[in-house]
Amino acid sequence: MSIILQDVTYTYMPGTPFERTAIENVSIEIPSGKITAIAGHTGSGKSTLIQHLSGLLKPSNGKVLVDDVDINIKNNNESKMARRQVGMVFQYPEQQLFEETVEADIAFGPRNLGLTEEEISVRVKEAMEFVNLDYDTYAKRSPFQLSGGQMRRVAIAGIIAMHPKYLVLDEPVAGLDPRSKEELLKRIRKLHEKQGITIVFISHNMEDIANMADKVIIMNQGKILLEGSPKEVFDMSQADDILLAGLLPPKTAIILDELNRGGLKVDTSAYTVEKGVELIYQALKEAGKC
Amino acid sequence: MLGDITLGQYFPGKSILHYMDPRVKLVLLFIYIIALFVFDTYGCYAVATVFTVALVLLSKIPAGMVIRSLKPIMWLVIISFIMHIFSHDGEVIFQLGAFKATVEGIIKGFLISLRLLLLIIVSSLLMFTTSPLLLTDALEDLLKPLKKIGFPAHELAMMMTIAMRFIPTLLEETDKIMKAQQARGVDFESGNFINRAKQMVPILVPLFISAFRRADELAMAMEARCYHGGEGRTRMKKLLVGKLDYICITWFIFVIGALAGLKIMEI
Ligand SMILES: Nc1ncnc2c1ncn2[C@@H]1O[C@H](COP(=O)(O)OP(=O)(O)OP(=O)(O)O)[C@@H](O)[C@H]1O
Ligand SMILES: [Mg+2]
């Protein structure tokens, strides 16, 4: 059970002078039940890549399989059902709100699925709770009277209410203040833990990736540069590759590496702050310095 | 979806037609269109056809693109052709009820259709080889004399520039919003007319909101950069009529001369 991209190539506006191949021969697997993070420089093709996961872009070449079903077969029910397994939250999703009330906007997706009204209202409440919007306070408000961060939560709730098996988020925390950012990431992780939803998210922030992801994919110029567990990808021996892709490894990994070079014998396998602190403390203790 | 729509019609390239001054192109196009109507002998049509084809080759625009630009008016051409077949007196070929198809009608219909096609081809060549910005600049420049009688040449050009600048942006935005609503289960590809019309709401509302926001931001940004209308504004890139333009104008005069000659001699 997973989403598999086989040799996917996508070209924007083929046959015109504006032709541009955004991703080229990309083969990846998004494992089910895990959190996968995608990072890469601006224009490296991340957004293009993830739009293939739910069939919004059809590959110019190659195949996309969701749970072993090709999702790009026309007029095929099985293919359509497979596409529905994948929920997609775009960058700045608050720009797609259009209904008069928050409740109606969140209900839009479930209604398109043809659910009953009772079922819809259950799902709306549940989704609002998940993104931490109080139902009684916000349900009847216009989405356009909310703050940017709240609007974003409404938009995400609109997708969650469709109960996707895979949830794909394009830079979910872009443009949010640090606290809202933390809060939203925490909610996403909770969604994953509680309901076992598979998460795919794009981020420029290596700290967030290090904290959340089970699998990391680094893209560069339309190709996969690195792929693996955070431990493998953030191994400092590969730091040059990451720098090459226009990114920085997590700060913790950099600090541990520097300490090691500076002569403190410290285990460099950590990439999250908590683990890093622990390792440094240990190393200092061993060195008899505290 | 919308990905197939090219950004306007401009097709960047490096041909003589691309490098000509846009004002010269506009004026010559205007004269050429009038010439197509005034000079209407067989000989004139032959010369005009050759000249137009030569222009297409000169522009290095793929023939396919040029032909595609004819698509929207193809029906008009066909209908006018059929109407002409039946509406001229002369040697009858066949009869459909009260309508008589004549040889003269076919010839006339063919010529009129040809004129229409040539007209569209040269006009789209202008669009293909001139960036929208240059085109509005040229228009503003050509309309400048009318300012004396209160015609808002600058404002008009600025409005056109802004509109053209934002067409691709709005298309992109529409594409994005469509995709986002598709992700929420909207199905644009099937359903009857009413259903499809209903599905426009989730697209139009966000689109209008973002368009108004953009307009607001743009107005603010222009004001912040001290925009105060056309009065006393100078250009960074001045339009210049150069050697290439004079050569082209000379050639053009030859062609028009030839057309006029053929008309006078009624060839
Ligand atoms: N609608 C489009 N039409 C034409 N080209 C596009 C379109 N969308 C993206 N591209 C091009 O494809 C390439 C990859 O774009 P993409 O949006 O996938 O990048 P990204 O990795 O998501 O970047 P960012 O971090 O800025 O969001 C870019 O070079 C971009 O110019
Ligand atoms: Mg992107």
Mean pLDDT is lowest, of A203-212, A214-223, A264-273, for: A264-273
Strand order through the sheet with A69-70 = A20-31, A2-12, A61-66, A69-70
Ligand 1, atom 16, residue with closest C-alpha: A45
Lining ligand 1 with CB less than 6 A are A 12-13, 20, 22, 40, 42-48; B 172
In a domain, A91, yes or no: no
Domain span holding position B14: 1-130+240-267
Instruction: Give the confidence band of A214 by pLDDT, cuts at 50, 70, 90.
Output: very high
Chain B neighbors of A95, CB-CB under 8 A: 176-177, 180, 206, 209-210
How would you write the pLDDT of chain B (267 residues) with one tens digit per residue? 444 444 457 888 888 888 999 999 999 999 999 998 888 888 899 999 999 999 999 888 888 888 888 887 888 889 988 888 888 777 777 777 777 788 888 888 888 899 999 998 998 888 889 888 888 888 888 888 888 888 888 888 888 888 877 887 888 888 889 888 888 888 776 667 777 777 888 889 999 988 998 899 999 998 898 888 777 777 777 888 888 899 999 999 999 999 989 888 877
Cα angle A56, A58, A61 (rounded to 5 degrees) comes to 155
Is the reported ipTM for this assembly greater than 0.85?
A: no
The count of domains in chain A is: 3
In 3D space, the residue among A227, A205, A226 whose CA is nearest the CA of residue A215 turns out to be A227
Q: What is the pLDDT of residue A96?
A: 86
Between the CA of A184 and the centroid of ligand 1 the distance, in Å, is: 25
pLDDT per residue as tens digits for the range A17-64: 778 999 999 999 999 999 999 999 899 999 999 999 988 999 999 999
Q: How many CB pairs under 8 A join A and B?
A: 60
- The token pair at A261 is 């070079």
Cβ contacts of B184 on chain A, cutoff 8 Å: 96, 108-109, 112, 158-159, 162
Cα(B33) to centroid(ligand 2), Å: 46
- Alpha carbon distance A137, A154 (integer Å): 13
Which pLDDT score is estimated for A290?
Answer: 67
Tell me how far the alpha carbon of residue A47 lies from the centroid of ligand 1, in angstroms.
7
Which stretches of B91-200 are DSSP H helices?
103-129, 132-143, 153-183, 193-198
CA distances in angstroms from A89 to A151, A184, B241, listed in the order given: 13, 13, 52
Tell me if B147 is assigned to some domain.
no
Do B183 and A54 make contact, defined as CB atoms within 8 angstroms?
yes
Residues in chain B closer than 8 A to A56 (CB atoms): 179, 182-183
Query: Looking at the 3D structure of chain B, how many domains does it have?
Result: 2
Least Cα distance to A270 among A258, A279, A281 occurs for: A279
CB neighbourhood size of B198 (10 A) = 11
Q: B138 in a domain, yes or no?
A: no
Contact A90 B210 (CB under 8 A): no
> Considering the domain boundaries, does residue A90 fall inside one?
no
Give the gap in angstroms from C-alpha B205 to the nearest C-alpha of chain A: 6
Single out the residue in A162, A191, A208 at which a domain terminates. Answer: A162
Q: Do B6 and A13 touch (CB under 8 A)?
A: yes
- Which residue in this structure is represented by tokens 């069939």? A55
For residue A87, the chain B residue with the least C-alpha distance is B183
Q: Which of A13, A16, A113 is facing B185, going by the closest CB pair?
A: A113
Handedness of CA A242, A244, A246, A251 (dihedral sign): positive
Instruction: Assess if residue B145 is contained within a domain.
Output: no
Rounded to whole angstroms, how far apart are CA atoms A256 and A273?
10
Residue A106 included in any domain:
yes
pTM of the model: 0.75
Domain that holds residue A127: 98-162
Are both B1 and B120 inside the same structural domain?
Answer: yes
- Residue at A197 is within a domain: yes
Does A225 share its domain with A261? no
Give B176-201 as a DSSP string. HHHHHHHHTT--SSSS-HHHHHHTTH
* Least reliable range by pLDDT among A6-10, A109-113, A219-223, B62-66: B62-66
| Ligand sitting nearest the alpha carbon of B3 | 1
Examine the domain organization and report whether B42 and B115 are in the same domain: yes
B112 with B205, same domain?
Answer: no
Q: What local confidence, expressed as pLDDT, does residue B162 receive?
A: 85
